Amino acid sequence: MTPETIYRAGIAGATGYTGLALVQLIQRHPRLSIGWLTSENSAGKCFNDVHAVPWAIPLIPLQDAYARARDVDVVFLCLPHGESLEAARRFAQAGVRVIDLSADFRLDTPEAYATWYGHTHADPALLARFVYGLCEINREQIRGAQLIANPGCYPSSVNLGLYPLAEAGVLGRRVVVDSKSGISGAGRSSKLLYQFVESNENLTPYNLGYRHRHIAEMELVLNGSTQAGQGEGAHRFSFNPHLLPVNQGILSTMYVSVTGGMTEQQVRQLYAERYTGEPFIHVLPAGQQATLRHVTGTNRCAISITPEDPHNPNGSDYVIVACIDNIIKGASGQALQNFNIAAGIDETAGLL
């Protein structure tokens, strides 16, 4: 046995909730250590001045991190949407592996950005080099990849929850997603809406219907492309998020039809086969529902499958529930999983 390489990670935008989670997870990771952390607002302070943790790691401005790009093997970009582009370009040029947790490189075409974000993508060539890092679905493309777009939290729950049906071609056209997310999903911001008294003992629907930006990633994965539009075989997603008074966790309740005359047993078999051996996918047995408790604090996705009519269990209407921790499997945990796959080390390292 030879000693194993310890890789070094830089985190850009380290003081938000995804940055915090990355720092915490890396402490446990046997093959990864922290090279540098950046923060624009808290540069000059240490990480433990900002968060209730014992690690006095200096926070440097992003500009300084560019000069130290070669000090690290991988950079995790936890920057606000829109600000990753420049950073990704700089670190990509430096030859460092980049895992971007923003939405800036998730979609498949520049046009998709025009449709969903209101502006075309500013660097289509760079966009084209990114792999969409939904680990269980795109594992082969992720291996060895230099540039990885880490998926959004809401779409990860939906895509993992419905992929076996879509892949088998038996997912009905209309997909109604009723999602509930813990408040860390809004980021570490000081908006009044996310104030304790405003959110606690409350539940708030927002951005309901067909036009939520996160639908783009559902089209990408379940339609195969954001450009499938409303064509034949394309699914139409109604996505309806609710702000839930918990810190972490997403539960997506999905109302779908299964085509092709499948029995419940056959539907379950699809999921079992697709996800067999997956260390982070937990498909629950008949009669059990996925809950936040199944996933909070873990990198797991829990999925439950319920035919709507128990008197006719082979009817076509199903409720699929999929849960993830929005900060772990929905962000920082999946980012580490992407790193593990890309670097060719144990996929579960630091994530159990």
162 forms part of the interface with a copy of itself (CB under 8 A):
no
231 forms part of the interface with a copy of itself (CB under 8 A):
no
Nearer to a copy of itself, 1 or 125 (CB): 1
In whole angstroms, how close is the CB of 136 to a copy of itself at the nearest point?
Answer: 15
Are the C-beta atoms of 250 and 152 separated by less than 8 Å? no
| Given the residues 78, 153, 301, 323, the one annotated as active site | 153
276 forms part of the interface with a copy of itself (CB under 8 A):
no
In whole angstroms, how close is the CB of 183 to a copy of itself at the nearest point?
Answer: 4
Nearer to a copy of itself, 128 or 208 (CB): 208
Nearer to a copy of itself, 191 or 261 (CB): 191
Nearer to a copy of itself, 24 or 266 (CB): 24
Phi, psi of 201 (to 5 degrees): 55, 30
- For helices 135-142 and 333-343, the axis angle rounded to 10 degrees is 30
83 forms part of the interface with a copy of itself (CB under 8 A):
no
199 forms part of the interface with a copy of itself (CB under 8 A):
yes
176 forms part of the interface with a copy of itself (CB under 8 A):
yes
Q: How far apart are CA 294 and CA 302, in angstroms?
A: 6
Round the CA-based radius of gyration of the chain to a whole number and report it. Answer: 20
Distances (CA, A) of 150 to 3, 135, 195: 30, 9, 28
In whole angstroms, how close is the CB of 288 to a copy of itself at the nearest point?
Answer: 9
Are the C-beta atoms of 222 and 174 separated by less than 8 Å? no
Are the C-beta atoms of 171 and 218 separated by less than 8 Å? no
156 forms part of the interface with a copy of itself (CB under 8 A):
no
List the beta bridge partners of residue 11.
37, 76
173 forms part of the interface with a copy of itself (CB under 8 A):
no
Nearer to a copy of itself, 176 or 228 (CB): 176
Edge-first strand order for the sheet with 250-257 is: 204-205, 236-244, 174-182, 250-257, 317-324, 301-307, 281-283
User: Cα 326–328–331 angle (5° rounding)?
Assistant: 70
Sign of the four-CA dihedral 325, 328, 331, 335: negative
Distances (CA, A) of 162 to 70, 208, 257, 284: 40, 20, 11, 14
Q: How far apart are CA 225 and CA 220, in angstroms?
A: 4
311 forms part of the interface with a copy of itself (CB under 8 A):
yes
| Annotation marks residue 153 as catalytic | yes
230 forms part of the interface with a copy of itself (CB under 8 A):
no
Nearer to a copy of itself, 86 or 308 (CB): 308
Nearer to a copy of itself, 61 or 279 (CB): 279
Q: How far apart are CA 134 and CA 293, in angstroms?
A: 22
HSE, CB side, 13 Å, CA atoms: give it for residue 338: 33
200 forms part of the interface with a copy of itself (CB under 8 A):
yes
The window from 32-40, 63-71, 93-101, 306-314 that contacts a copy of itself (CB under 8 A) reads: 306-314
180 forms part of the interface with a copy of itself (CB under 8 A):
yes
Contacts of 12 (CB under 8 A, 6+ apart): 38, 62, 65, 75, 76, 77, 78, 79, 87
Contacts of 107 (CB under 8 A, 6+ apart): 113, 116, 121, 127, 216, 217, 220, 226
- The footprint of a copy of itself on residues 34-63 (CB under 8 A) is 52-54
27 forms part of the interface with a copy of itself (CB under 8 A):
yes
Count of residues near a copy of itself by CB under 8 A? 69
Which of 44, 124, 128, 206 touches a copy of itself by CB under 8 A?
206
| Residues at the contact surface with a copy of itself, assessed by CB under 8 A | 1, 17, 27-28, 52-54, 176, 178, 180, 182-184, 188-192, 194-206, 208-211, 238, 240, 242, 244-249, 251, 253, 255, 282, 289-294, 296-297, 300, 302, 304, 306-311, 317, 319, 321, 352
Active site positions, annotated: 153
